[in-house]
Amino acid sequence: MNSNKTTPVVNQIENLVATIPGWSPNDQLFALFNLVFLTRTEGEIIELGTWCGRSASVLGLAAKLLGHTKVYCVDLFPAGEDWFKNADGTYSFSVEVEGRRYGAYEDQTVWAEPFERDIAPLYEKYHGVLDVFLETIDKNELKDVVIPFKGTLDMFAQQAPKDFKCKLAFVDGDHSYDAVCKDIANIERFLVPGGWICFDDAFSVYDGVNKAITDKIINSTQYDLCQQLTRKFFVARRKP
């Protein structure tokens, strides 16, 4: 990883993510980097929905440069055999963690085309997404700052220390209305005043994401500085 102080961050990000599969384009990753790097409140970073570690690497780069922040990556990290095809040709998965099964993409399922193009080929080379993630984080020398949590955000919230604080949460998990509402409720337990939530795929084609943000964020008095940047929607928790 090139962390040279004089190398522009845009170029560092390009190099960092060049070979990492994922969906966040570099301009959106640059926005996430800036927010972490320039936000001077206390707290850690939570990423819900990590996949192979593309956005996590950029959050990790910013956290590493700051020197006192960790990135907790919450994901069910499905293996190939966890995915199944629905009757309408779309895909969902269910993962067993600690003896219980957790389903994802049950309401907002994954369309066949992106599944067959972007997801299925990965499992020809790797058993599970966690293997790709661990390889990515190791290669990018981010093991000290980027910490995986295999499970749901509910599980993470239950297991986090009582005094855990979050200054930025990047929400890129299940895109159904109920899931995003639940994610917001869990994040609100930890988000410090002045801290940020960034929603991926906001105000694009996912009605559940749009409605959850509208109901729980835009119509709430708890937030300000709401702004859509490309496909990501950023919002800050109001200071008292």
Ligand X SMILES: C[S@@+](CC[C@H](N)C(=O)[O-])C[C@H]1O[C@@H](n2cnc3c(N)ncnc32)[C@H](O)[C@@H]1O
User: Which residues bind to ligand X, rule: CB under 6 A?
Assistant: 22-24, 49-51, 54-55, 74-76, 78, 104, 129, 152, 172-174, 179
Task: Tell me how far apart the alpha carbons of residues 191 and 168 are, in angstroms, rounded to a whole number.
Answer: 7
Closest CA to 93 of 102, 77, 82, 85: 82
Closest to ligand X by CB, 9 or 155: 155
Closest to ligand X by CB, 63 or 74: 74
- CB distance 128 to 53 below 8 Å: no
Closest to ligand X by CB, 57 or 69: 57
Report the nearest approach of ligand X to the CB of residue 5 (Å): 26
* Residue nearest to ligand X as judged by C-beta position: 22
Task: Tell me how far apart the alpha carbons of residues 30 and 188 are, in angstroms, rounded to a whole number.
Answer: 25
Report the nearest approach of ligand X to the CB of residue 221 (Å): 28
Report the nearest approach of ligand X to the CB of residue 29 (Å): 8
Which residues 6+ apart lie within 8 Å of 6 measured at CB? none
Task: Tell me how far apart the alpha carbons of residues 168 and 172 are, in angstroms, rounded to a whole number.
Answer: 13
Report the nearest approach of ligand X to the CB of residue 219 (Å): 24
Closest to ligand X by CB, 126 or 194: 126
